[in-house]
Chains A and B, each alone.
Chain A
Amino acid sequence: MRNLLAATMLAAVVSSVASAAAPELTAQERQATHDMFEHVINTPTVIGRHNVPQMAQYVADQFRNAGFPVSDIHVIPYHTGSATTGDDDTAALIVRWRANAPSKRPLLLMGHMDVVEAKREDSSTDPFTMTERDGYYYGRGTIDMKDGITAITQAMINLRKAGFRPKRDIVVLFTGDEETNGIGAKKGATEWLDLLGHPEFGLNADGGGGGYNVDGSPAGFAMQTAEKTFAGYTFTVRNRGGHSSKPRKDNAIYSLAHALDKLEAYRFTPKLNDTTRAYFTAKAKMDKGPLGDAMRHWLANPDDAQAADFIEASESEVGLTRTRCVPTRLFGGHADNALPQLATAMINCRIFPGEDPNAVKAELERLVNDPTVVVTRNDDNVASLASPLRSDVTSAYTHAVETLHPGMPVFPEMSTGASDARPFRVAGIPVYGVNGAWVQVPTDFRAHGKDERIPVQSLYDNVVHWQLMLADLAGK
Chain B
Amino acid sequence: MRRFVALVLAVCSTSAIAAVDPRTVPTQLPPAWQAKTRELFKQAIEIPSVHNRGEVPRVAHLLADQFRAAGIPDADIHFMPYEALPGDQTMALIVRWRSPHPVKKPMLILGHMDVVEAKRSDWKYDPFVFREEGGYFYGRGTSDMKNGDVATTMAAIKLMSEGFKPDRDIIFFYSGDEETRGVGATLGASKWRNLTDAEFGLNADGACASYDEQFRPLGCGISMAEKTFQTYFLTTHNPGGHSSRPRPDNAIYDLADALEKLRKYRFQPMQNEVTRAYFAERARQEGNSTLGQEIRAWLANPNDGAAADAIEANPLEVGLTRTRCVATMLSGGHADNALPQSATATVNCRIFPGVQPTAVQAELQALVGPNVEVKPDPNYIGVPTPASPLRPDVVKAVTAAIQHFHGPEMHVYPEMSTGASDGSFFRAQGIPVYDVDGSWGISPLDERAHGLDERIPVRAMYDDVHYWEMLMRSLAG
Contacts and interface: CB of A to CB of B under 8 A. Distances in A.
A42 interface: no
A327 B337 contact: no
Contacts of A251: 263, 326-327
B259 interface: yes
B329 A332 contact: yes
A247 B327 CA distance: 9
B442 to A, nearest CB: 15
B313 to A, nearest CB: 8
A345 B338 CA distance: 13
Contacts of A313: 248
A348 B339 CA distance: 9
A257 B450 contact: no
A337 B229 contact: yes
Interface residues on A, range: 35 or more
A455 to B, nearest CB: 25
Contacts of B449: 242-243
A243 B328 CA distance: 10
A241 B452 contact: yes
Contacts of A261: 253, 256-257, 260
A343 B330 contact: yes
Contact of A336 (B255, B329, B337): B329
Contact of B260 (A244, A258, A334, A342): A258
Given A244-B348, A254-B259, A334-B117, A264 B250 contact: yes
A416 B252 CA distance: 21
A245 B331 contact: no
Interface stretch (B39-47, B238-246, B388-396): B238-246
Interface centre among A230, A253, A416 (most CB of B within 10 A): A253
B246 A338 contact: no
Contact of A335 (B248, B319, B328): B328
Contact of A260 (B256, B262, B447): B256
A405 interface: no
A228 B326 contact: no
B331 to A, nearest CB: 6
Nearest to A238: B122
A243 B334 contact: no
B419 interface: yes
Given A260-B252, A318-B246, A329 B332 contact: yes
Nearest to A263: B253
B450 A241 contact: yes
B330 A348 contact: no
A324 interface: yes
A257 B332 CA distance: 13
Interface string A285-320: 000000000000000000000000000010000110
A250 B447 CA distance: 16
A242 B330 contact: no
Interface stretch (B1-9, B14-22, B405-413, B461-469): B1-9
B3 A348 contact: no
B419 A318 contact: no
A232 interface: yes
Nearest to A265: B253
Contact of A340 (B179, B330, B448): B330
A258 B257 CA distance: 8
Contacts of A417: 242, 244
B477 to A, nearest CB: 35
Contact of A327 (B122, B253, B331): B253
B385 interface: no
B418 interface: yes
A364 B222 CA distance: 49
Interface centre among B3, B331, B333 (most CB of A within 10 A): B333
Contacts of B260: 254, 257-258, 261
Interface residues of B, number: 62
Given A346-B333, A416-B245, A335 B450 contact: yes
A337 B263 contact: no
A331 interface: yes
Given A240-B451, A254-B259, A335-B179, A328 B328 contact: no
A20 B257 CA distance: 61
Interface in B292-344: 318-319, 324, 326-340, 343
B183 interface: no
B253 A253 contact: no
Interface in B115-163: 116-117, 119, 122
B244 A416 contact: yes
A336 B245 contact: no
A339 B318 CA distance: 14
A333 B328 contact: yes
Given A245-B227, A326-B250, A253 B339 contact: no
Contacts of B259: 253-254, 257
A330 B340 CA distance: 9
A337 B114 CA distance: 14
Nearest to A332: B330
B381 to A, nearest CB: 14
Given A240-B451, A245-B350, A333-B346, A253 B250 contact: no
Nearest to A378: B336
B207 interface: no
A314 to B, nearest CB: 11
A333 B330 contact: yes
B451 A245 contact: no
A261 B253 CA distance: 7
A246 B4 CA distance: 8
Contacts of B327: 251, 253-254, 257, 333, 340
B345 interface: yes
A357 to B, nearest CB: 15
Contact of B451 (A327, A339, A343, A348): A339
Chain A to chain B: the 9 pairs with minimum beta-carbon distance, closest first: A332-B330, A333-B329, A329-B333, A330-B332, A416-B244, A257-B259, A245-B418, A260-B256, A338-B450
Given A327-B332, A337-B229, 11 more contacts: A241-B450, A243-B447, A243-B450, A247-B318, A261-B256, A328-B339, A330-B252, A335-B117, A336-B348, A338-B450, A416-B245
Interface of B: 1-4, 116-117, 119, 122, 179, 227, 229, 231, 242-248, 250, 252-253, 255-257, 259-260, 262-263, 318-319, 324, 326-340, 343, 345-346, 348, 350, 377, 417-419, 447-452
23 contacts: A242-B447, A243-B450, A245-B418, A247-B326, A251-B326, A257-B256, A258-B260, A261-B253, A318-B245, A326-B243, A326-B250, A327-B250, A327-B252, A333-B329, A335-B450, A336-B329, A337-B229, A337-B450, A340-B327, A346-B336, A348-B337, A416-B245, A417-B244
Interface of A: 7, 228, 230, 232, 240-247, 251, 253-254, 256-258, 260-261, 264, 313, 318-319, 324, 326-343, 345-346, 348, 350, 378, 416-417
